[in-house]
Chain A
């Protein structure tokens, strides 16, 4: 979609770009169309969706909410990322059974719903035995998307969605904010549209991917985007090549994405009788259980740190959540370091595949720091890897970067503007500093507030932000804060129950177009 409308009126003036606070007159003088919507969510991914879902269920009408986004439906980016990182719709994601972004109650859980739908008790028995006797039960990606589609229709999400690129959020004199949107070319009379909102919610997702420095240097120096790939970009050509020619793949990283890529390589190897060899480099090689004391040990082995989900389970509601909520500054950063670190689930299938590979010698995992990658011999790549005191040259046909490094929040234009002009600051981990209510500290404007959820807020009082359940925790805190401010009703016991019944019956939430037709 094209977002540049050359020659149209309503451009940002130098004065607007300069001033941290705008008056209505300044925006008017610039000829920018103004639309009044009290709550604006920027992003349009799952973070926006679960927040809007909460608000709608709490009784906020659809016409009081706008979601500004470049994507057509909330799971679009998530589906893209899961697909390229080797989780097609039929595969299971890494998420708890009761973490349902399409159901604020988490009941019925995905496992219960699947048991009901497929008339089998197996998912329930599986959940009963987890994580002691079985791996964690997790839902299929396709099930999650189907549920989101259903809930999206139920709350009238398409009615709230406005397509366009958000350029900035600036304070408004007199309270609230202006959110500047660049709509698709030709869709509006002015180049920019200003949403005048009392509350702004930022759920802009990952600011961008960051490559390992040596791989970035390789791509920039040799312009080779074919042999060195990031697991989060399309890289199907790697697997296709290996089906035609025996080859070696170097996998970098020890998280869930590395596990997924290994599974794909090993599945293909078994399914098509391939000769693929795998060199797996861990920067941090975990050889066994690790942790500060006997009551605080995480499982590990063969390079990996093992954990069911990306954080210890109690961050979403138990002891670690309660503890982190009380910590400030360096103490909080230290707690993040203690429980953090790259990890992956210890799934039985993966363990079996890796064991087979290790024994047969075609899967080789080791600790090392890659110092340099250069082309050759022939079309292959050579990595210079420092392993302790030794330096090894490892030759491979492809390198798949599975480290999942994230770019700095300032790489995102809206967040950068908020840090520069909006009064926002950084938390102990360098990301957006938010309150326990997820209000962005330092950005208040009169009776208005800016909230943020998702990965941009990692390092705050609540750790599990970049997860389905974490987004729901944030949505609940935001909705409760808005209720405290008197903007919406508090979602209490009776409304929660009656709304759940509507959800179970598939009936639309009041105030949506679907509801008025029903």
Chain B
């Protein structure tokens, strides 16, 4: 899929809500933590929401960078690697206590596993299976509505 700006944002929000939630539901009980499960879920979903909200800003930046490309495309590798700066920024904000509703920052590796697995799952779905139920999605620059 070669995105347009609204398609980028819609796809991100949709896939984080769907794939991100499923992955989070499955993963959180497997990650270590002292707090009760419900609290850990709460923190994990706040993180997910933060990826979505910050992501709107990131997508604007990616859209601007894409304008420097002749083909106005966004190679799938970019979609994977942009997880690194996004993850680092979110981690920094967490550590600084700048993410509203978030509890204390989890251990670094727990954050990395959660963020990494969600990112990878969303990227994988966006690069193939998404086209099965949403037949028109790839021809509309990622727009769902």
Contact = CB atoms under 8 A, between A and B. Distances in A.
A496 B138 CA distance: 14
Nearest to A294: B68
Contacts of A308: 71
Contacts of B135: 104-105, 476, 491, 496
A112 B139 contact: no
A356 B56 CA distance: 49
Given A314-B71, A317-B2, A321-B141, A128 B132 contact: no
A132 B80 CA distance: 13
A104 B131 CA distance: 9
A467 B9 CA distance: 28
Interface stretch (A74-82, A225-233, A295-303, A427-435): A295-303
A364 interface: no
Interface string A257-284: 0000000000000000000000000000
B95 interface: no
B128 A296 contact: no
B60 to A, nearest CB: 14
Interface residues of B, number: 28
Given A312-B73, A316-B2, A109 B128 contact: yes
Contact of B71 (A127, A312, A476, A491): A312
Interface in B87-142: 128-129, 131-136, 138-141
A373 interface: no
Contacts of A320: 72
B77 interface: yes
A295 B139 contact: no
B82 interface: no
Interface string B66-81: 1111111101110010
Nearest to A500: B132
B84 to A, nearest CB: 15
Given A132-B75, A291-B70, A496-B133, A314 B139 contact: no
Interface of A: 98, 104-109, 112, 127-133, 291, 294-299, 307-308, 312-314, 316-322, 473, 476, 480, 491, 493-494, 496-497, 500
Interface of B: 1-4, 66-73, 75-77, 80, 128-129, 131-136, 138-141
Given A105-B131, A319-B66, A321-B139, 8 more contacts: A98-B131, A107-B128, A291-B70, A299-B70, A313-B72, A317-B139, A318-B3, A497-B132
